[in-house]
Amino acid sequence: MMATNKPPSPRKSTKSGAKPPAKLTLELLAANQKQINGSLYEALDLILDIISSTVGAGDIDKLRRAEAIIHAIPGYDPPGCGAGPYP
């Protein structure tokens, strides 16, 4: 006797109980990128604070350039940044 395949059940499985993943939309993508940008900005700002106390006189120009770049991250343009002066 040969085994036969059972037809798939019309009922949905309740085993996982997890929600299906959210549909990727441009709004969701922008919101997630904003959260990532905010985390990176906060980390860079903390690193900059630490480095500021240890930098030598010869590196002060590089430090000022780095500060300008880092503080320009949370701008008004989308997706923006969830931290800094423009949450």
pLDDT value at 51 more than 70: yes
Q: What is the pLDDT of residues 66-81, one digit of tens each?
A: 888 888 777 666 666 6
d(CA 85, CA 81): 9
State pTM to two decimals: 0.56
On the question of a cis peptide bond just before residue 8, with omega within 30 degrees of 0, the verdict is no
d(CA 49, CA 29): 30
Please check whether residue 42 is in contact with residue 82, taking contact to mean a CB–CB distance below 8 angstroms: no
d(CA 47, CA 57): 18
pLDDT band (50, 70, 90) for residue 3: low
